[in-house]
Copies of this chain bind each other. A is one copy, B any other.
Amino acid sequence: MAICEILSVGTELLLGDILNTNTQYLSRRFADMGISVFYHTSVGDNPERLAGAVRTALSRSDIVIATGGLGPTPDDITAEICCREFGFELEFDKATADKITAFFIAKGVEMPRSNLKQAYVPKGGTVLENTHGTAPGMGMKKDGKCLVLLPGPPYEMSEIFEKHVVPYLSEYRSGAIVSHEVRTMGISESRLAEEFSDLLSGENPTVAPYCKIGEALLRVTARADSAEEAERMTQQVIEVIRGRIGEYIYGIDCKNTEDAAVPMLRKAGLTVATAESCTGGLIAKRITDIPGASAVFKHGVITYANEVKVRELGVSEKTLSDYGAVSEETAVEMAKGIRRKSGADIGLSVTGFAGPDADEDGKSPGLIYVAIDAQGFTECEKIETGRNERDYNRYTAASRALNLIVKYLKTELKI
């Protein structure tokens, strides 16, 4: 099996200014491809130490993939040093230069001359096109070894990786690996681990529980000679999982609850409108993260203050004084109010304490109500995260609210 080393280049990593998410991304993808990663190395923008790290990596691995340091400034030295160590020369590439120039023209900005540095690519290597930025990726192969250079910005790195590096490395892959994620909401990672202790010890397919913000998932991975066979093996296991905890599953291979909810709404031909308090726009933001959301989402309001809940949504002052803004009663009136006001098929609402620290009336951070209102259907869920973490509580509240849509469409409308 081929061995890979991931080399991250950038002084900002060594200073702790940025978190090395690229390395995790690449590690996971190499695991999917059946390529073993034995080392991660990070080194600064220093010619000598970078050269040493590349030499070491090439001596012990078949594939070395380096990210970062392909920018236009003088401290971007990855291309120069790595190519030299691997025995490739850099040469000016007119096609790449034209793309860089076009990139600036499209932005209506004058190109700094320094950007043409990014048009130098390894002679005899492969240019891996970057449609999101000016630094192309580069691939070189020699004596059974392979060196790939990718820009550091994660969205550029991952796009080039998926489009160009995966096929470029096809000869190093072993067998076929198929992996699916069973996404759940409302059941903990440790509960999943207990419930599926029999499957967790399997070697092929493997089943592994993971914890995400406010939710848990099971990753099912099978390895076989063909993709069809590996796919069949994973589906068998997914059926077992469905049989045991089906009610908690909101989707397979969805990225999150909006990724499940929006396509279901489109399929049902229904629209949703949102009324948010503590999430402050996050639910609407997550719905509209999905391209094409305009078919299902027209209108949302953020009613952060109580008087705005009354004025904009018709929440009654009595409800607010009797039960408080953070209550099932208020959440339901908000959902009904936005549905009425917007004319949408579904009204979705959230009200709660995101924290940090307790609200004046002594309720705890992490106490949140999410509610849904639709034709002949109203439901409210109480959430108690037990955490005093604003981001966690807001994200979890939004996920649970979006999951109300999934549950409604699944159980009531059989979508």
**A residues engaging B (CB < 8 A)?**
8, 11-21, 23-31, 36-44, 46, 49, 53, 56, 71-75, 103, 106-109, 112, 114-115, 132, 153, 155, 179, 188-191, 193-194, 200, 208-211, 219, 274, 276, 278-285, 287-289, 291, 293-294, 297-305, 307-308, 312, 342, 355-356, 384-387, 389-392, 394
Contacts and interface: CB of A to CB of B under 8 A. Distances in A.
B308 A304 contact: no
Given A16-B29, A17-B219, A281-B302, 16 more contacts: A11-B208, A14-B38, A14-B40, A16-B23, A16-B25, A16-B30, A38-B49, A73-B193, A73-B200, A112-B190, A281-B282, A289-B390, A291-B356, A299-B308, A300-B304, A302-B302
A200 B219 CA distance: 46
A256 to B, nearest CB: 13
Given A114-B193, A299-B304, A301-B302, A19 B17 contact: no
A27 B20 CA distance: 12
Contact of A16 (B26, B288, B294, B300): B26
Given A42-B39, A103-B386, A384-B107, A188 B28 contact: no
Given A39-B41, A193-B72, A300 B301 contact: yes
11 contacts: A12-B208, A14-B40, A17-B219, A41-B42, A71-B211, A107-B384, A279-B288, A280-B297, A281-B283, A299-B301, A300-B304
Contacts of A28: 15-17
Given A73-B209, A390-B289, A305 B300 contact: no
Nearest to A398: B285
A190 B73 contact: yes
Given A103-B386, A300-B281, A391-B155, A114 B194 contact: yes
B302 A189 contact: no
A62 to B, nearest CB: 15
Nearest to A4: B14
A66 B28 CA distance: 22
A27 B14 contact: yes
Nearest to A282: B285
A302 B289 contact: no
Interface pairs A-B: 8 shortest CB-CB:
A280-B288, A16-B28, A281-B281, A16-B27, A281-B284, A107-B386, A298-B305, A40-B42
Contacts of A43: 38-40
A109 B284 CA distance: 30
A40 B38 contact: no
Contact of A288 (B39, B304, B384, B386): B304
Nearest to A288: B280
Contacts of A285: 279-282, 285
Contacts of A73: 189-190, 193, 200, 209
A18 B181 CA distance: 13
A385 B14 CA distance: 31
B16 A24 contact: yes
A148 B187 CA distance: 30
Nearest to A30: B16
A108 B280 contact: no
A217 to B, nearest CB: 10
Nearest to A111: B190
Contact of A190 (B115, B179, B392): B115
Contacts of A30: 16
Given A21-B19, A103-B386, A302 B305 contact: no
Contacts of A53: 39
A73 to B, nearest CB: 4
A12 B299 contact: no
